[in-house]
Structure 1
Amino acid sequence: MPSTVEQLSPSRVKITVEVPFADLKPNMDKAYRDLASQVQIPGFRKGKVPPRILDQRFGRGAILSEALNDALPSLYNDAVVDNKLSPLAQPEVEVTKLEDGELVEFTAEVDVRPDFDVPSFDTISATVDAIEITDKAVEERLDSLRARFGSLDEVDRPVEDGDHLIIDLVARQDGEPLEDANVTDVSYEVGTGRMVDGLDEAVIGLSAGESKKFESKLVGGPLKNEDAEVEVTVKKVQVQDLPAADDEFAQLASEFDTIEELRVDLKRELEENGRAEQANAARDKVLEALIAEIDVEVPEGVLKAEVESRREQITTQLAQAGLTLDQYLEEIAADEDEESDEDEPTDAESFWAQTEKRSADALKAQMVLDKIADDREVGVEQDELSAYLVRRAQASGTTPDQEVQHMLEHNHIPEYMSEIRRSKVLDQIVAQATVNDSNGQTLDLGLPQPESAADDEAAEGDVIEGDVIDGEVEDSTEVEGQTQEADTEDAKA
């Protein structure tokens, strides 16, 4: 099947494909069979109507149109593979020549991954936070473990800071209770500030059975941020009774004989968690440094579609939360505890500008990782796909079998394969890059080095190639590329 490619721009091509009419015979036969099975014509059994009768009744053009609609996706994919193209979007297809019985010609214009150079990975460097495990952090971890073995004991005295309460809350406006703004028998630890403003101050000094009213702003529902009169009733006052941090507790709560051995192990766990956080931060920082050195632009049409998709999803999620964008941005600005490495947007214009930039960065990262994966012929082994499904199951609270079923039902195999390939490539990049911590120490993150050509050949028989299985491709929000799941937290991060 001859095809030619015209380069319209660095990131857009026009494919012209000529198809001998004989190659369409299977599609024509199928079109005739499908139509014959759907119509009832006097003198013929259903499904047995001859093609010439169908041509007379419905016109040859209708059959040709149905056959072409059936054939074009496969013909287009074949042309893409033959010309080694990497499409980034759906093509714009036009049939330009139709000579019945002789020839069909069609063109397909599509945005493709442009050609670009990737720098050597060992020239990339990044810095991540150093691991600092303080005695206080170890004691907090120990206290958390003690709390799991502790108990809540009821006391007959006024509420003090740190007490655990059982309370009722009733919110009113103009003396009328507000629907969906009342809670009963809710647990609350005084001093955490995790409920309405003013609650901690209101309960201090109350005893079980006593109530107090105070003014506050509602924190959820359709009346969020509106002023209301809140009445709290203390139903039970409890204090947490923690076991002593001694050798007896260490033997009860762990495999260790002494409390000092337990502390050492807790410190080891904190260090392991810190190294995992360093590895995740290194992946992000190295990828940012890599794409910053690559001179390539995301195709305008691809970026526009992605930004529109994110805008629609964010707007929908805000509406579902009962918020406007302005209200959402006000909440971000008012959150004094939130920390961010970049300036948060303060108005709608800067918010959407930031969304567009993040979209462009994500798409560029996808293009870079996919190019490297293609150039290095990175494949995905069966056990890697299995491990990926297990991780998804753990994250979503499902079983691996349920994840497999979901993957097959929704044809997510290409998407998952792409994510695994990109993750493998990124690990290889980070392994060769220079990663230092904030103290200047060069880190060994224990990531796998790139496979050698001999290793690739040895593993070839066990590799599931990404183009074996057809299906839709959806990419996750951050490193992996195009997002179909951007939420408002992602947008503000």
Structure 2
Amino acid sequence: MKTDVKRINPTRVKLTITVDQSGFKPALDRAYKAVAQQVNIPGFRKGKVPSQVLDQRVGKDAIIAQAINDGLDNFYRDALRENNLRPLDTPQADIKSAPSSTELDKELIVELEVEVEPEFKMPTYKGMTVSVEPVKVAQLDIETELDALRARFGTLKTVERAAKKGDFTTIDLSASMDGKPIDTATDISYEIGSNQLLDGIDEALDTLSAGESTTFRSKLVGGEFAGKEAEVAVTLKAVKERELPELNDEFAQLASEFDTLSELKADLEKRIEKQLARKQVLQARDKIVEELIAQAKIPTSDVAIEREVNAHLEGEGRLQDDAHRKEVTEEAERNFQTRLILDAVVKAEEIKVQDRELIDYLAMMAASYGMDPNEFIKQISNSGQVPAYVSELARRKAVDFLVANAEISDTNGKKVEYQA
């Protein structure tokens, strides 16, 4: 078999596949075996019918046609592999020449057009120099952490005053539509301003006192009437405020392993500094990939991008939203280029995904979907999605490789250490 490859554009090729008699024979032999298993001919066991009898009963041209049909995918995949091509969609095939019962030695010639990943020159990706924002822990950051810690050790105290943002309340709710009650709930604990219940409830409770009621309109978020607007009546039964412990050495001893407040503050500062350092690494990752994309100048496939964008917009029910289409298209193009850059790193550095790494990654993905890991793995295995997750994890490892091999410093010149 030989293949001629013609580039129509950077992401589309025309393949002319030529298969001679010796290359076609294995496909023809497989077709004879398959047909022999399918037909019932008196005097012969299934699968044991001689080819001459099959030619007479089924027709040699029909068997040749089956050989072409069954063998075409293998010829196509061999052509892709031999020419290092990675398809982006299903090819369009046109048979130009084929053997027949009268011309068995005639070459099979097939022309196919298919979208493929573009060729590009990979920029130098080791030792890249990246500048990120410096880490600076503000006093406000430490105070915010201290307030959160105090809140954990705070106590709730009932107060006799109007409710306000930050108060903890006990409330009763009832919803009605067209004057008919549809749902009720009693003794609900709710923090005003937490945005955890219904739209409009924070405004309704603000300035209300215990024992008072009011109504407001809101869209329901659960049950059979979810998404529909209803009249909601709320009764405030109790108002509590959180009393925070005083910031002193005694609190430090209660809330941590430290003896003094100064030690606790110093520890919080170190923790915040580490969090900000992780953000520096994330910033470096983005900058490295963006710089490689800019240098590589990778052409994008209009066919692949349009297919992805349409699927995305259809899922959102926004196929006709031109402004949103533009945003999604730009994101799809960037994702396309990012994938090719990282795949090139995976290939060049021979990055592999170990079984344990894959299991841990799939368990993490299952948790993000709120699914049992075993059930999640079973579902993606049945749907043939495991290779996609392997590729995604390999790309993540490629990003880590790029960052680990980069020279990262902040804008003040301080070197940023990367820890995996």
TM-score by length of 1: 0.69
Check the 8 A contact 2:14/2:114 in 1, yes or no.
yes
Q: CA deviation at 1:192?
A: 3.5
Distance 1:54 1:149 in 2: 86
Distance 1:108 1:325 in 2: 31
Check the 8 A contact 1:378/1:421 in 2, yes or no.
no
Aligned twin of 1:362: 335
Q: 1:271 to 1:381 in 2, by over 3 A?
A: same
Check the 8 A contact 2:64/2:99 in 1, yes or no.
no
Of 290-299 and 358-367, the range deviating more from structure 2? 290-299
Aligned twin of 1:212: 214
Aligned twin of 1:17: 17
Q: 1:416 to 1:50 in 2, by over 3 A?
A: same
Q: 1:400 to 1:253 in 2, by over 3 A?
A: farther
Structure 2 unaligned residues grouped into runs of 5+: none
Check the 8 A contact 1:156/1:207 in 2, yes or no.
no
* SS of the residue 1:380 aligns to: coil
Distance 1:397 1:193 in 2: 22
Q: CA deviation at 1:244?
A: 5.3
Q: 1:295 to 1:205 in 2, by over 3 A?
A: closer
Aligned twin of 2:270: 268
Aligned twin of 1:330: none
Check the 8 A contact 1:11/1:112 in 2, yes or no.
yes
Q: CA deviation at 1:361?
A: 1.7
Distance 1:245 1:46 in 2: 88
1:380 aligns with 2:381: no
Q: 1:349 to 1:2 in 2, by over 3 A?
A: closer
Distance 2:304 2:245 in 1: 59
* SS of the residue 2:5 aligns to: strand
- After TM superposition, list the pairs within 5 Å mapping 1:36-435 onto structure 2: 37=37, 55-56=55-56, 58-100=58-100, 101-102=104-105, 103-121=107-125, 128-150=132-154, 152=156, 155=158, 157-161=160-164, 162-177=166-181, 179=182, 184-196=186-198, 198-204=200-206, 206-214=208-216, 216-218=217-219, 220=221, 229-240=231-242, 242=244, 245=247, 250-251=252-253, 253-315=255-317, 348-374=321-347, 376-382=348-354, 384-397=357-370, 404-431=377-404, 435=408
Q: CA deviation at 1:232?
A: 0.7
Check the 8 A contact 2:169/2:191 in 1, yes or no.
yes
Distance 2:329 2:365 in 1: 28
Q: CA deviation at 1:149?
A: 4.8
RMSD between aligned residues? 3.8
Check the 8 A contact 1:249/1:259 in 2, yes or no.
yes
Q: 1:176 to 1:395 in 2, by over 3 A?
A: closer
TM-score by length of 2: 0.79
Distance 2:25 2:11 in 1: 34
Q: CA deviation at 1:36?
A: 5.2
Distance 1:7 1:410 in 2: 33
Of 109-118 and 377-386, the range deviating more from structure 2? 377-386
Q: CA deviation at 1:125?
A: 5.9
* SS of the residue 2:361 aligns to: helix
* SS of the residue 2:170 aligns to: strand
Deviations 1:47-69 (A, max 9, x none): 66665555555544554444444
Q: CA deviation at 1:384?
A: 4.5
| Counterpart residue type for residue 218 of structure 1 | K
Q: Which structure: larger Rg?
A: 2
Distance 2:187 2:55 in 1: 74
| Counterpart residue type for residue 362 of structure 1 | N
1:4 aligns with 2:7: no
Distance 1:249 1:31 in 2: 82
Structure 1 unaligned residues grouped into runs of 5+: 316-323, 327-347, 449-493
* SS of the residue 1:79 aligns to: helix
